[in-house]
Amino acid sequence: MFGKSGNFLGLRGTRLQIAVGIIAGVDFLLFGYDQGVTGGLLTLESFERHFPTITPSATSDPAEASNRATYQGITVASYNLGCFCGAVACIFVGNPLGRRRTIFLGTCIMVVGAILQASSYQLAQFVIGRIVTGVGNGLNTSTVPVWQSECSRSHRRGQLVMIEGALITGGIMIAYWVDFGFYFLDPNDISWRFPLAFQIVFCFIILAFVLSLPESPRWLIFAGREDEAVNVLGALNGEAHDSQFVKEEFYAIKDTVLEASTSSWRDLFTMGEDRHFHRVVLAYVNQMFQQITGINLITYYIPNVIENEVGLSPFLSKLIAACNGTEYFLASWIAVFTIEKFGRRKLMLFGAATQSICMICLAACDSQALKGNTAAGYAEVVFLFLFNTCFAGQTPVAFESISYQTYIIFAVINAFIFPVVYYFYPETAYRSLEEMDAIFVKTKSIFTAVRVAKEEPRRYGKNGEVLINYDETDMAHRRRSSVADARQHRFEKHGGPENEDV
């Protein structure tokens, strides 16, 4: 088992991890591009000509404008519905297919969705295209972070994942500039068809390379392909396959996988020693927070907000949106270089507090801008930029109905996030995935996870060096005992040494 070697595009060690990170990053470029591309197309003359029923400004009747704003919100949000369906589908296809093949499938689906959107002449086809694209993206964004995390070292995992986040903003930036460039070709249909079709370029890059890179070692062990898992661990870490480091990593992962393999879906809702439900809630709430901060308001609709709320021209609105996307991309790299130094908790706390302040300022500025105060409108643009720096559903309906008070809602939400993160979210910097298991096993209350994480000794240093061997940890002893008990139980039930392997 510990004597094989592998070849992944001729790369090993750090270079191989970087290659995984690049393909993961391209996927998130694609995700960001998909998020940002539609907002700049909604006000194009050629787009409005094909889809007048989602253009509020095309009618002087307030009731009809409200209806069209609703339809526009549904049209844009249909992508998110597809993302949700894709994420749910990943529950059922993720383990049978593995990480790489799930990403390959999701990307193929996104190609189909992009073609449907770019070739649309009817709103129904456009909505279906957005849903299909969303399904593919849901599969990808549910899988890529897992694949990335399971293929990276603990001291680099946070930084690599933050690079993925930065590349989401990179995709948004590219989308805004592509929209701005093709704005000058309006009213020719290419002004909106090409930006929608351009996402296929990112898809082709992923499809060309993802299957040539290593599969997750955790999934390989889960699938019973242990030789391949050892091969991958050695290649990813640049170590000999029979080295002590690779053996330690292999047994740490295998013990985790063996224990996880005895679990069922019901266990996700239990609060036993492993605190499954506690961990599930933290994960889902964290993802929910990310989506309800108000970032989608800005990402999807900033050209509309600047044009309709601030009152600037279509040209300036799209130019400012593109500049905003560029600033968003540059600001996101701050976290890449600070995530391991300051940790996840501090950055989340900082982001929640400053985002809440920005939303309060946006509400104040927008209320004055609607009264014709030009200076307040310019200040609103400034705070839109600042919110994106701090951040590193159906918004048109909200603005149509409650105007500047939309920002107040997001201000309250962001203020609420701060105490939740402070009291309930443990720090994970420099921790392996297996170490987090140990932390939650020692956590006896939802209020003590933060303290336990502070007190638990670290297995790895800030440069990835081993501080505590896996065999010396409590989790190793606990899992070996658990496996031994399972073997004994099977031996007693079936009898005979040939049946005792678990």
Predicted local distance difference test score (pLDDT) of residue 131? 95
CA distance 399 to 439: 44
Q: What is the DSSP string of 100-131?
A: HHHHHHHHHHHHHHHHHHHT-SSHHHHHHHHH
CA dihedral for 147, 151, 157, 162, sign (positive or negative): negative
Predicted local distance difference test score (pLDDT) of residue 33? 92
The token duo for 153 is 């070292």
Of 480, 495, 502, 456, give the one whose Cα is nearest residue 252. Answer: 480
Q: What is the mean pLDDT of the chain?
A: 80
- CB under 8 Å to 31, separation ≥6 — which residues? 137, 140, 141, 168, 171
Predicted local distance difference test score (pLDDT) of residue 268? 76
CA distance 204 to 410: 37
Length of the chain: 502
Q: Mark residue 105 as left, alpha or beta (left: phi above 0; alpha: psi -120 to 50; beta: remaining).
A: alpha
CA distance 210 to 104: 7
Of 24, 33, 30, give the one whose Cα is nearest residue 162. Answer: 24
Q: Where are the domains of the chain?
A: 12-213
Please tell me the class of the 12-213 domain.
Answer: mainly alpha
State the virtual CA torsion across 219, 225, 227, 233 in degrees, nearest 10.
Answer: 0
The parts of the chain modelled with pLDDT lower than 50 are 1-5, 392-393, 395-400, 402, 491, 494, 496-502
Predicted local distance difference test score (pLDDT) of residue 400? 47
What predicted TM-score, i.e. pTM, was given to this entire model?
Answer: 0.71
Predicted local distance difference test score (pLDDT) of residue 395? 39
Element (DSSP H or E) covering residue 204? helix 199-209
Predicted local distance difference test score (pLDDT) of residue 499? 41
